[in-house]
């Protein structure tokens, strides 16, 4: 304890209960036990890097062994793991300072003494000085033997600890420079005393560090019949053969000019476990206030869990080649969750266990930069490789449409990447961009028109398009379920607002040149007769519609349903219902085409019961066209059953047959002549005859007597 008096105040130093602190570090700091090997390999890598720097001024430190390496040995019988490096090693004082002081980072101290250029060239990993103690997660006793490079063999040191509040230190003889850590595994941690298990951990966390991590090569069992005979007095000695477990090649750290396309594709398969080729990639190194390297890929095929927003996503995070996490979702927005790749940075703020990334402005800045880079990569693909971009859009277009709701900053940039089907382009394949739509806009058009629906075939034949096709105005056809929700956030593009052609009032007067208050429109919309039928339909359908009005949308269909400006559209209602959410009650607006025969028939119908049935058919037809489910489909079909009706027979009084019928006094013969007259007219109209044989007989009698 220290005490300092100042103006009567006393300053005291904190006291530490070493045993309790070790207990917290072993049991609370790390969530994943296998992390211990990553930490110890990182320490060993730092030791070799320190030797490399010191040897620049004193090459004799290599002691005729310049091949830097890390070796891992495992003894399954004795349940021990040995990690050896031929790095800088430690003196007795350094052992006491580094291993005898918890949370003291020798690497951090070493970095303080490096110049700016040396810091950039270094690949030192350690930050907190606690990684070594992760060994006690799986071991109940740890022994460290070390000799500093350049020191005498007799100056080597052995340090041992059983994870309690004290440790033992003694001098030993050691000819090799560097450090050996021997871990005696706990009884319940025997899984780590397995060669294959350790290899898998090395591949996962330390595959790309610059120093080779070696393990003894496993001999393959001999094939039956291939064994070689050995004499009884002959002894065969096989020297141990070490092989590198890690790749030791972090592709993203190399210059782009040194990496071939095949290398990039192969690395994509490694980081994504996807054997399809990527569509594009972006490899960049950023230096300045922030220093990091990113390698981002656009996959060629969507994964099965793409639409499960809670599924694992994000890019791989490395700190100076050492793997930290597999799904660093903080660096990519949700609508870009399909992006694969790696981010490597030395400056990111991790928690002490290096398992959790802290939320800081630096993380937000890198996220913004990677998002921009991805969108730029897609924009370049859309411009220079449209066929490849069409493949991307077919796989990930619906996910990208989530962007406007999540990323207000890049909303315009995201919208430029969208592709839609169009009423002016044949086929259901979405090929029309918003920019190309604006280029084809009619004179006087100031809005981008669109319609949403369940499928292309439904909306392509939608009655909402009739007036637009009449005047040659293009309408975007949106058939993804996410479209209506997306358009709630995408309100304009390039200064042009969007309008749903099935929502609110429609005014095409600036395009057609026919103002709404023109005489022609007044005669159509304000005609007293029309007002009367509109009022009648409103009363007949008062429980089903909010309003009935004469349409300006339709040219051929009898009616359509229009959503109010502030009401929820049909697609959005279906999404909410599928999610089990309550949907607000609202009634649609029924617009009617007064020029359609069904409206004329309804207008002329004096029987209120029949008029109500006709109004119901009118509403159900409009509902079907809008993609709405019918309340009673069976009743609709019954109402559509063709009623029995009789045609009107018009006669030509100048024809001889009419003269003959007029002069005939015998009613029976006159009836036969009238029958022939009707059947002739029916044949001319293409109607089937009720009794063709009788018609032939009557015709023969008429002609031949």
For residue 329, count CB atoms less than 10 angstroms from its CB and return exposed for 0-12, middle for 13-18, buried for 19 or more: middle
What's the token pair of residue 241? Answer: 């053969």
Mean pLDDT confidence for 526-547: 83
Distance, CA of 72 to CA of 180 (rounded, Å): 10
Give strand pairing partners of 476. 422, 450
Chain mean pLDDT for the chain: 83
Residue 253 pLDDT > 90, yes or no?
Answer: no
- CATH entry 3.30.465.10 includes domain 519-640: no
Q: 80-85 and 178-185: which strand pairing?
A: antiparallel
Instruction: Give kind and range of the element (H or E) at residue 89.
Output: none
Residues in the chain: 705
CATH 3.40.50.11260 segments of the chain: 418-492
Q: Under CATH, what is the fold of the domain 418-492?
A: Rossmann fold (3.40.50)
Higher pLDDT: 24 or 244? It is 244
pLDDT digits (tens, 9 = 90+) for 679-688: 888 877 877 7
Tokens 């397995």 found at? 194
Q: 322-328 and 421-422: which strand pairing?
A: unpaired
Distance, CA of 319 to CA of 317 (rounded, Å): 7
CATH 1.20.120.790 segments of the chain: 519-640
Q: Which of 317, 67, 303, 87 is nearest to 181 (CA)?
A: 87
Higher pLDDT: 283 or 53? It is 283
User: What was the pLDDT predicted at 335?
Assistant: 93
Residue 373 pLDDT > 80, yes or no?
Answer: yes
User: What was the pLDDT predicted at 523?
Assistant: 42
Residue 692 pLDDT > 60, yes or no?
Answer: yes
User: What was the pLDDT predicted at 415?
Assistant: 96
Mean pLDDT confidence for 524-547: 81
User: What was the pLDDT predicted at 585?
Assistant: 80
Three-state DSSP state, 184: strand
Distance, CA of 571 to CA of 551 (rounded, Å): 22
User: So what CATH class is 251-383?
Assistant: alpha beta
Evaluated on CA atoms 517, 523, 524, 529, the torsion sign reads positive
Give strand pairing partners of 9. 6
Per DSSP, the residues of 256-313 read GGG--HHHHHHHHHHHH---SPPSEEEEEEE-SSS-EEEEEEE-SS--TTTT-TTS--
CATH 3.30.230.80 segments of the chain: 251-383
CATH of 25-216 among 3.30.70.2190, 3.30.565.10, 3.30.200.20, 3.90.79.10: 3.30.565.10
* Percentage of residues of the chain with pLDDT beyond 70: 82
Question: What residues contact 445, with CB distance under 8 A and at least 6 apart?
Answer: 473, 510, 511
Mean pLDDT confidence for 155-161: 93
Mean pLDDT confidence for 504-513: 85
Ramachandran angles phi, psi of 241, nearest 5°: -115, 120
Cα–Cα–Cα angle for 291, 296, 301, rounded to 5 degrees? 165
Question: What residues contact 380, with CB distance under 8 A and at least 6 apart?
Answer: 280
User: What was the pLDDT predicted at 126?
Assistant: 40
CATH 3.30.565.10 segments of the chain: 25-216
Mean pLDDT confidence for 187-212: 90
Q: How many Cα atoms are found within 13 Å in the side-chain-facing hemisphere of 266?
A: 8
Query: For 208-217, 240-249, 291-300, which range has the lowest pLDDT when averaged over its residues?
Result: 240-249
* Percentage of residues of the chain with pLDDT beyond 90: 38
Distance, CA of 193 to CA of 191 (rounded, Å): 5
Evaluated on CA atoms 185, 188, 192, 193, the torsion sign reads positive
Query: For 164-173, 219-228, 363-372, 587-596, which range has the lowest pLDDT when averaged over its residues?
Result: 219-228
User: What was the pLDDT predicted at 329?
Assistant: 83
Q: Which of 483, 481, 475 is nearest to 425 (CA)?
A: 475
User: What was the pLDDT predicted at 515?
Assistant: 66
Three-state DSSP state, 383: helix
Distance, CA of 401 to CA of 488 (rounded, Å): 11
Q: Which of 188-192, 350-354, 625-629 has the highest mean predicted lDDT (pLDDT)? A: 188-192
pLDDT digits (tens, 9 = 90+) for 274-322: 888 999 999 999 887 788 999 999 999 988 888 776 777 888 888 877 7
Decide: 89 and 147 in contact? Cβ < 8 Å: yes
* Longest CA pairwise span in the chain (Å): 147
Q: Which of 446, 568, 428, 426 is nearest to 495 (CA)?
A: 446
pLDDT digits (tens, 9 = 90+) for 3-50: 555 566 776 555 555 566 666 666 666 668 888 898 899 889 889 988
Decide: 689 and 682 in contact? Cβ < 8 Å: yes
Tokens 């320190």 found at? 50
Decide: 402 and 488 in contact? Cβ < 8 Å: no
Residue 118 pLDDT > 50, yes or no?
Answer: no
What's the token pair of residue 257? Answer: 């000019």
Higher pLDDT: 654 or 512? It is 654
Helix axes 667-684, 692-704, angle to 10 degrees: 120
User: What was the pLDDT predicted at 137?
Assistant: 86
Higher pLDDT: 309 or 472? It is 472
With 0.85 as the threshold, say if the pTM is over it: no
């Amino acid at each position: 304890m220290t005490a300092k008096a100042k103006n009567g105040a006393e300053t005291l130093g904190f006291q530490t209960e070493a045993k309790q602190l070790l207990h917290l570090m072993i049991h609370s700091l790390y969530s994943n036990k296998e992390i211990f090997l990553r930490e110890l390999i990182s320490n060993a890598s730092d030791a070799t890097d320190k030797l490399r720097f010191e040897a620049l001024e004193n090459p004799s430190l290599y002691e005729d062994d310049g091949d830097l390496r890390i070796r891992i040995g495992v003894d399954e019988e004795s349940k021990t793991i040995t990690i050896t490096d031929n790095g800088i090693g430690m003196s007795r004082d350094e052992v006491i300072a580094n291993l005898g002081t918890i949370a003291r980072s020798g690497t951090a101290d070493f970095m303080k003494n490096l110049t700016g250029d040396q810091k950039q060239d270094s690949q030192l990993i350690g930050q907190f000085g606690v990684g070594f103690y992760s060994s006690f997660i799986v071991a109940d006793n740890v022994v460290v033997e070390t000799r500093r490079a350049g020191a005498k063999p007799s100056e080597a040191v052995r340090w041992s600890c059983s994870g309690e509040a004290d440790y033992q230190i003694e001098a030993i003889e050691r000819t090799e420079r560097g450090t050996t850590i021997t871990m005696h595994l706990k009884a319940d941690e025997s899984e780590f005393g397995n060669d294959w298990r350790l290899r898998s951990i090395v591949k996962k966390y330390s595959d790309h560090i610059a120093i080779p991590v070696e393990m003894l090569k496993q001999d393959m069992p001999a094939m039956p019949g291939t064994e070689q005979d050995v004499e009884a007095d002959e002894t065969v000695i096989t020297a141990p053969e070490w092989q590198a477990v890690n790749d030791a090649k972090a592709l993203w750290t190399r210059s782009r000019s040194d990496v071939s396309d095949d290398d990039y594709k192969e690395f994509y398969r490694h980081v994504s476990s996807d054997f399809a080729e990527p569509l594009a990639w972006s490899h960049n190194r950023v230096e300045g206030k922030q220093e990091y390297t990113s390698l981002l890929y656009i996959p060629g095929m969507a994964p099965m869990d793409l639409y499960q927003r809670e599924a694992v996503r994000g890019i791989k995070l490395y700190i100076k080649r050492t793997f930290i996490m597999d799904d660093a979702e903080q660096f990519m927005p949700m609508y870009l969750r399909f992006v694969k790749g790696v981010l490597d940075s030395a400056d990111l703020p991790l928690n002490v266990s290096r398992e959790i990334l802290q939320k800081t402005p630096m993380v937000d800045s890198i996220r913004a930069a990677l998002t921009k880079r991805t969108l730029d990569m897609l924009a370049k693909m859309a411009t220079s490789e449209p066929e490849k971009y069409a493949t991307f859009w077919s796989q990930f277009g619906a996910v990208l449409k989530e962007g406007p709701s999540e990323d207000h900053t890049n909303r315009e940039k995201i919208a430029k990447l969208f592709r839609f089907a169009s009423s002016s382009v044949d086929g259901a394949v979405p090929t029309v961009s918003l920019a190309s739509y604006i280029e084809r806009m009619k004179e006087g058009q100031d809005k981008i028109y669109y319609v949403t629906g369940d499928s292309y075939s439904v909306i392509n034949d939608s009655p909402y398009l009739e007036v637009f096709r009449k005047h040659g105005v293009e309408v975007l056809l949106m058939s993804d379920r996410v479209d209506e929700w997306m358009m709630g956030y995408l309100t304009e593009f390039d200064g042009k607002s969007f309008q749903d052609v099935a929502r609110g009032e429609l005014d095409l007067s600036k395009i057609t040149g026919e103002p709404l208050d023109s005489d022609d429109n007044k005669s159509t919309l304000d005609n007293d007769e029309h007002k009367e039928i509109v009022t009648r339909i409103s009363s007949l359908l008062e429980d089903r519609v909010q309003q009935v009005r004469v349409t300006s949308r339709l040219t051929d269909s009898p009616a359509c349903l229009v959503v109010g400006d502030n009401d929820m559209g049909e697609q959005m209602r279906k999404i909410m219902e599928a999610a089990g959410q309550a949907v607000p009650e609202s009634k649609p607006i029924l617009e009617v085409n007064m020029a359609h025969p069904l409206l004329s028939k309804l207008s002329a119908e004096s029987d209120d019961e029949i008029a109500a049935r006709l109004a119901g058919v009118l509403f159900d037809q409009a509902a079907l066209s809008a993609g709405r489910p019918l309340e009673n489909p069976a009743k609709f079909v019954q109402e559509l059953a063709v009623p029995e009706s009789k045609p009107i027979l018009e006669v030509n009084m100048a024809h001889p047959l009419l003269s003959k019928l007029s002069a005939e006094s015998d009613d029976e013969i006159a009836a036969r002549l009238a029958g022939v007259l009707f059947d002739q007219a029916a044949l001319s109209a293409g109607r089937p005859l009720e009794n063709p044989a009788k018609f032939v007989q009557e015709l023969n009698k008429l002609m031949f007597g």
